[in-house]
Structure 1
Amino acid sequence: MSSLSSAPPWNVRRLPGAHGRVFLVTGGNAGIGYFVAEQLSATGATVVLGSRNPARAEAATASIRARVPGARVRAVRLDLADLSSLGTAVESLAVERLDAVVHNAGIALDDMPRKETGDGHELMFGTNHLGHFALTRWLMPLLSAAPAARVVTTGSFAAKSERLDLDDLQSRKDYRPGRAYGRSKLAQMYFGIELDRRLRAAGSTVASVVVHPGGALDSLTPSRPPVHVTTTGARLSAAPAALLVQGKHAGAWPAVRAVLDPAVDGGQLWGPRVFGLRGAPRREPVWNHLSDPSTAARLWDASCGLTGGDPAAVPG
């Protein structure tokens, strides 16, 4: 594992080149995912936006091309709430290998009632966690074909105060939207840590890294019309908050570093430098509850059963 002291200086505005590499960003059409895609496009890599909304994906690709001359960016239709569609989505990538996937897409609901995917899973758990869990299984042959691919899973600071209820992963007994969201992100983070452990045990060249964006507000985010527009009034009203949090362009930095920086190792957690809420990306200790192997193993087994496959069953 790389130590903090041995990591080379990292400049979020001067990224290393990545010509010839291929990256997939789920939910790359909006929010933090858009800025991950925009920043990775500036490295010369081919960046594929996974999005369930073709119109929004086209707007995002047009915005990136306008800001990054010569950007190699395109989109594929990807609906993480529909597990049966993921194989077709991966085929549509039409690539021989994948150097990294950033698991960024997500749904956050703040109202009742509880909703489900077409597969019968609670919508946030089913999309945010199970969708990425299943997608990774389909992507693993492409990731294994790259020399040192990375799976970068975007968690959330909201998961730090949550704990999983392994007997009610689908929030059927006591559904609270905010808690269900936090737990879905916590499940993702458990997945990212446990995936790396299992890949190492299997002798895989693929590494899994977990990141979180800290506090990332729309009102502190630079405009990218029509993808995102921040009004002057919104910027002014949010100015005091900038002492503690940041915009979504900065929230993208940990994921971008996890994709590009050779000093980043599998099994690590990266987030913003200042109180885990804002600033340049840095490695931070894996949260205590994320280090629980029993919970991770039980979640993994349940997820395999719910999705019908094991992402760590690496071919060859």
Structure 2
Amino acid sequence: MRSATPSVPRSRPWDVRRPPSAEGRNVLVTGGNAGIGYFVAEQLAAAGATVVLGSRDAAKATAALDSLRTRVPGARAWHLPLDLADLPSLEAAVAGLALDRLDAVVHNAGVALDHPPRRETADGHELMFATQHLGHFALTRWLGPLLSAAPAGRVVTVGSYAARSERLEVDDLQSRRDYRPARAYGRSKLAQMSFGFALDRHLRATGSTVLSVVAHPGGALDGLTPARPPVHTPTPGERLRALPAGVLVQGKEAGAWPIVRAVLDPEVAGGDLWGPRVFGLRGVPRREPVPPHMADRAVAARLWTASAELTGTDPRLGFR
């Protein structure tokens, strides 16, 4: 059974342009320096949240902060050095937050490779699986006490529409036998989403007040995304080529809407899946049915055990 955040009934329908106030909330957005993550950070900052951009690239984070502060005067935002592919660094990175509580984390950062060869992290893990899933799994463990200290903490995992057509091979999570970049990417996002739903069940079983929610941006193209120089400046050619696709998909500003709703809507429940309203590809956010393969408890249990072993993480994840 899903668990919703205690709240008073909402007085008006959800408005993507006017979300409820996030004053007083601290939110960490991994990969908040670019793409979907940047627009999530911008929209949360505009709602009044203090936003932390988790990024391994200081120059890109600085550019993102400059853009964000131009768009949101007086924004409270700062950079946290964070490299999800470097598992041993995550505990110290979380200590660098220097916060007494964290109201939400958005597990957004990712790597998408288009061509072979298969690449590995310094720890010997396939790069996309390590960044999208293993890094966020371990990060969740270190953030557990801070999220538990918030009145109603949330873990929002950013999945992908691509995960719908994939299935996890728990015996080959690292894609060693048959590496195809697009498939490995889709499976890494499926691992993230499967973990997000499993985390909700874990939190409910332990009586935690923290919610785990999954959201995805649908189809989000650079060419349909508003300019945010120097973070994102599409060329006229990119915009022209993307126009026909606008019938089915959208830009990354709109792609951020389901994720922002998953962070801020008081009626969101643990175990929810949020995505765009029109075929799951574009439009305002709505709650979606969870595909059965994403909620498969047997697969999720094996993934959880393997993830704890691969990251050297306590499988209890530090929540209370």
TM above 0.5 = yes
Q: 1:300 to 1:2 in 2, by over 3 A?
A: closer
* 1:271 alignment partner in structure 2: 275
Q: Which 4+ residue blocks in structure 1 deviate beyond 3 angstroms?
A: 310-316
Q: 1:218 to 1:279 in 2, by over 3 A?
A: same
Three-state SS of the structure 1 residue aligned to 2:275 is strand
Match of 1:243 among 247, 256, 265: 247
1:196 matched to 2:200? The reply is yes
> What letter corresponds to residue 174 of structure 2 in structure 1?
Q
Residue pairs, 1:143-222, within 5 angstroms: 143-222=147-226
1:135 matched to 2:139? The reply is yes
- 1:32-79 superposed Cα distances (whole Å, 9 cap, x missing partner): 000000000001110000000000000000100011011001001000
Three-state SS of the structure 2 residue aligned to 1:281 is strand
Q: Which 5+ residue runs of structure 2 have no aligned equivalent?
A: none
Deviation at 1:309, TM superposition (A): 1.4
Deviation at 1:237, TM superposition (A): 2.4
> What letter corresponds to residue 307 of structure 2 in structure 1?
S
Residue pairs, 1:105-144, within 5 angstroms: 105-144=109-148
Q: 1:277 to 1:2 in 2, by over 3 A?
A: farther
- On the 8 A contact 2:305/2:315 being kept in 1, the answer is no
* 1:80 alignment partner in structure 2: 84
Deviation at 1:2, TM superposition (A): 7.9
Deviation at 1:16, TM superposition (A): 1.0
Three-state SS of the structure 1 residue aligned to 2:214 is strand
1:43 matched to 2:47? The reply is yes
* 1:232 alignment partner in structure 2: 236
- On the 8 A contact 2:32/2:55 being kept in 1, the answer is yes
- On the 8 A contact 1:41/1:72 being kept in 2, the answer is yes
1:31 matched to 2:31? The reply is no
Q: 1:133 to 1:313 in 2, by over 3 A?
A: closer
Partners in 2 of 1:313 and 1:121 — Cα distance?
A: 21
Match of 1:70 among 68, 74, 97: 74
* 1:258 alignment partner in structure 2: 262
Deviation at 1:312, TM superposition (A): 4.0
> What letter corresponds to residue 16 of structure 1 in structure 2?
P
Cα RMSD after superposing both structures: 1.4
> What letter corresponds to residue 23 of structure 1 in structure 2?
V
Q: 1:299 to 1:154 in 2, by over 3 A?
A: same
> What letter corresponds to residue 257 of structure 1 in structure 2?
R
- On the 8 A contact 2:198/2:300 being kept in 1, the answer is yes
Deviation at 1:181, TM superposition (A): 0.5
Deviation at 1:232, TM superposition (A): 2.4
Deviation at 1:235, TM superposition (A): 1.7
Partners in 2 of 1:124 and 1:315 — Cα distance?
A: 26
Q: Which 5+ residue runs of structure 1 have no aligned equivalent?
A: none
- 1:175-220 superposed Cα distances (whole Å, 9 cap, x missing partner): 1111100000000000000001001000001000001110000000
- On the 8 A contact 1:136/1:311 being kept in 2, the answer is no
Task: Calculate the TM-score normalised by the size of structure 2.
Answer: 0.96
* 2:288 alignment partner in structure 1: 284
Partners in 2 of 1:208 and 1:80 — Cα distance?
A: 19
- On the 8 A contact 2:37/2:256 being kept in 1, the answer is yes
Three-state SS of the structure 1 residue aligned to 2:69 is helix
- On the 8 A contact 1:202/1:314 being kept in 2, the answer is no
Q: 1:292 to 1:179 in 2, by over 3 A?
A: same
Partners in 1 of 2:313 and 2:236 — Cα distance?
A: 48
Deviates more, 1:110-119 or 1:226-235: 226-235
Deviation at 1:311, TM superposition (A): 5.7
- On the 8 A contact 2:3/2:270 being kept in 1, the answer is no
Partners in 2 of 1:270 and 1:315 — Cα distance?
A: 24
- On the 8 A contact 1:209/1:266 being kept in 2, the answer is yes
- 1:231-278 superposed Cα distances (whole Å, 9 cap, x missing partner): 223222211211100001111111100000001001010000000000
Deviation at 1:313, TM superposition (A): 3.7
Match of 1:54 among 33, 53, 58: 58
Deviation at 1:138, TM superposition (A): 0.4
